[in-house]
Amino acid sequence: MRATTIHAPFDMRVEDVPDPVIQDSTDVVLRVLRACICGSDLWAYRGESARQPGQRIGHEFLGIVEAAGSDVTGFAAGDLVVAPFVWSDGTCEYCAEGLQTSCPRGGFWGSVGSDGGQGEAVRVPFADGTLVKLPADAASDDHLLTALLALSDVLGTGHHAALGAGVRPGSTVAVVGDGAVGLCGVLAAKRLGAERIIALGRHTARTDIARAFGATDVVAERGEAAEAAVRELTGGQGAHGVIEAVGTEQSMRTAVAITRDGGSIGYVGVPHGSGTGLDLSVMFDRNIALRGGVAPVRAYIPELLPDVLAGTIDPSPVFDLTVDLDGVPAGYKSMEDRTALKVLVKP
């Protein structure tokens, strides 16, 4: 089969690799129908996170089961399924608690020795604990398939951030970051009943999506100017909940500064750069709570799936460029150059 591999910074290739096969009785082999490029994939692309030459990449995908191991009970050939960005056994204490990202036997797609989602097929370990079945007729609905793909990562991650921020009906929420996760955070905050949603972002194409997703206000400034703007919009108090979807020191400083006393920050931006930007004394004095981390999207898919199927929420606008497998290297460049928000891949 063909799959995307990374060989060095800015050196993405689509190459012939061995076809995946059932290795353990709990595996399935899945034929990929939709995949995408994540903002976190760009760190490997830039050389900011180490990869071995030829390593696979991609952690967001859905597809059709082609073969199932003898101990797989929940899936059979022909089933349409979505895969969260981490596989998990579904039986450990962490999985039972809804924290599948801490499963001792779990792992991330594209890690050394595993398949990546940006290819024609994937071997899925612990299929019963990992995959979620989708309605069969969704396979023929191109728009719906795109929306369902967001369940593999960005929609659940935005939801995780909104929960961490303590979003509740009638609350005011600010969202730091106008990437796909931040935009899905807007969508999640709206779904959870936020009355006012302030999106921080400078790119009109992205803030237009934020408004369509439910943002009531947009702040284009950065740093202290952004803090002042949010304070002005909230009568000097700040937001009850803040979603931090970037992961830099500056973004976290901004998040702390625009949080109302007694409020909460839900952080899902993977930390990178020069430190965390956290001043614990400020957070202590102002009773600011901090919750978040790697989103256990497997726990959220059953809750979010019905709304996506019904069209109550539609995250598909975050995918603004579509490529085939051969176009994946160019897709990375488009996201790096910020001419694309999130690239959809149709193998």
How many domains are contained in the chain?
A: 2
Side-chain-side CA neighbours of 263 within 13 Å: the count stands at: 25
What is the rounded CA–CA span in Å between residue 225 and residue 156? Answer: 30
Task: Tell me, yes or no, whether 135 and 212 share the same domain.
Answer: no
Query: Do 272 and 303 reside in the same domain of the chain?
Result: no
Is residue 264 domain-shared with residue 204, that is, in the same domain? yes
Residue 318 shares a structural domain with residue 209: no
> Can you tell me whether residue 189 is helix, strand or coil?
helix
Give the C-alpha separation, 313 to 304, whole Å: 9
| Number of CB atoms found within 10 A of residue 264's CB | 25
Look at residues 292, 315, 334 and tell me which one is the last residue of a structural domain.
292
Distance, in Å, from the CA atom of 260 to the CA atom of 241, rounded to the nearest integer, reads 8
List the domain range (segments joined by +) for residue 223: 157-292
pLDDT tens for each residue of the chain, 347 residues long: 999 999 999 999 999 999 999 999 999 999 999 999 999 999 999 998 889 999 999 999 999 999 999 999 999 999 999 999 999 999 999 999 999 999 999 999 999 999 999 999 999 999 999 999 999 999 999 999 999 999 999 999 999 999 999 999 999 999 999 999 999 999 999 999 999 999 999 999 999 999 999 999 999 999 999 999 999 999 999 999 999 999 988 999 999 999 999 999 999 988 876 555 677 899 999 999 999 999 999 999 999 999 999 999 999 999 999 999 999 999 999 999 999 999 999 99
Say whether both 33 and 175 belong to one domain.
no
Residue whose C-alpha is closest to residue 42's, from 312, 342, 347, 280? 342
Do 23 and 132 fall within a single domain?
A: yes
Q: Is 268 in contact with 157 (CB distance < 8 Å)?
A: yes
* CATH number, residue 313: 3.90.180.10
**Token pair 């996760």 in the structure block, residue:** 181
CA angle 35, 41, 44 (to 5 degrees): 140
Which CATH number do you get for residue 196?
Answer: 3.40.50.720
Same-domain pairing of 82 and 196? no
Q: Do residues 128 and 43 both lie within one domain?
A: yes
Looking at the structure, tell me whether residues 261 and 222 fall in a common domain: yes
Claim to verify: residue 284 and residue 307 sit in the same structural domain: no
Tell whether 25 and 103 lie within a shared domain: yes
Domain co-membership, 248 together with 273: yes
Render the burial of 145-162: b for 16+ CB within 10 Å, e for the rest.
bbbbbbbbbbbbbbbbbb
The dihedral over CA atoms of 92, 297, 55, 29, expressed in degrees to the nearest 10, equals 70
